[in-house]
Amino acid sequence: MLLAGLTLPAHATDTLPWQGDQTAGAHQPYQHGYTGLDLLNWNPAADQDAELLRSRVPLQERNEPLPATQRNPQLSADTEMFNLAGDYGNAFFESFHDNNVFSQYLFNYWQYTDYYGSWHGMPTQGVDKALYDPSKEWTQRWFEFGMLNLPNAAYTNAAHKNGAKSIATIFFSGSDRGEQTYGDLLADRREDGTYPVADKLAEVAHYYGFDGYFANQESNVPASDVPAYREFVRQLRETGMYVQWYDSVTYPNGGISYQNQFNQRNSPWILDTETDQRISDSIFLNYWFSGGMLDSSAAHATSLGLDPYESVFAGIEA
């Protein structure tokens, strides 16, 4: 999916595992997903193959845009793009740092990309690969997915070489994450009001070398838990992580209600106007916008003192 800041786009594709001499070896290291409770006790020393799956390239300074090279030099260079892609598709067990096929996962559009992230599921550590049957349609692919989806380290290296940030995905839905819920993120809150999982998420990002999180909360949150959840998101951003929120759960009632625009029902997940505290860096609008919704979104961002080119992203699914 392509995503851009008022803004632009995001993609999703489906691929199958490689066959023949391109098939992964039996002991090929691959990234796995995490449940929220996994994170409370996360330690890289106990994480399978963690040392082999790290990005080693620091984030580089991005080149300044050169209008003379643009097809339309009048287009604003301020627009940001988030490429939320399938990368290794829905093969699930194939998030490899390295493989034996040159340019197997080649991406040619880094010059247009400000943020890169992965859109797919990751099985948790120890899930038997035999449970994955690629011939079945996606609703029948039942094995444990983690709520945390890491970006492929090789993609993070490429993103960083081109000055783009690499983003992990936190995903909760009502049907395919089992007993995992947003409540796992709020577990073991300390007496000072801080959340251990927020610190652990920052620790995971620093270890694996990526830059932030896309929070895709697509299941209802009781209104009584909304203030705590919003505070968790704020604390995650305070650790130095880039955080993008999805246009799903509204404020303050916590119900799923896709607004398809930036307005007073979802902007509190970006900015607390009562305290002037920033909650997250940006929002990814649901896809069903039409008419003047994007103009209205830009106006609402501006009224809050936010730059719509940086804080409001409109998705185009391909």
Token pair in block for residue 117: 């992230």
What Rg, from alpha-carbon coordinates, does the chain have?
A: 19
How confident is the model at residue 5, as a pLDDT?
A: 60
**Closest to 121 measured CA to CA, from 198, 210, 216:** 216
Chain CA centroid to CA 53, Å: 18
Token pair in block for residue 72: 């339309």
**Helix residue ranges, H only, the chain:** 36-40, 153-161, 196-208, 226-238, 293-303, 308-311
Contact indicator for 274, 317 with CB cutoff of 8 Å: no
How confident is the model at residue 64, as a pLDDT?
A: 87
Query: What confidence tens digit (pLDDT) does each residue in 33-52 have?
Result: 999 889 999 999 988 899 99
Between CA 39 and CA 213 the distance in angstroms is 14
How confident is the model at residue 87, as a pLDDT?
A: 63
Helix (H, G, I), strand (E, B) or coil at 316: strand
* Architecture of the domain delimited by 27-62+72-246: Alpha-Beta Barrel (3.20)
Chain CA centroid to CA 97, Å: 19
Query: What confidence tens digit (pLDDT) does each residue in 90-132 have?
Result: 668 888 887 777 766 678 889 889 999 987 778 899 898 888 8
How confident is the model at residue 312, as a pLDDT?
A: 98
Cβ neighbours, 10 Å, residue 228: 16
Low-confidence ranges of the chain (pLDDT < 70): 1-15, 87-91, 103-105, 138-141, 175-178
How confident is the model at residue 12, as a pLDDT?
A: 43
Q: Write the single-letter amino acid at 210.
A: F
How confident is the model at residue 115, as a pLDDT?
A: 97
Between CA 78 and CA 271 the distance in angstroms is 21
Contact indicator for 168, 150 with CB cutoff of 8 Å: yes
How confident is the model at residue 11, as a pLDDT?
A: 39
Between CA 9 and CA 83 the distance in angstroms is 7
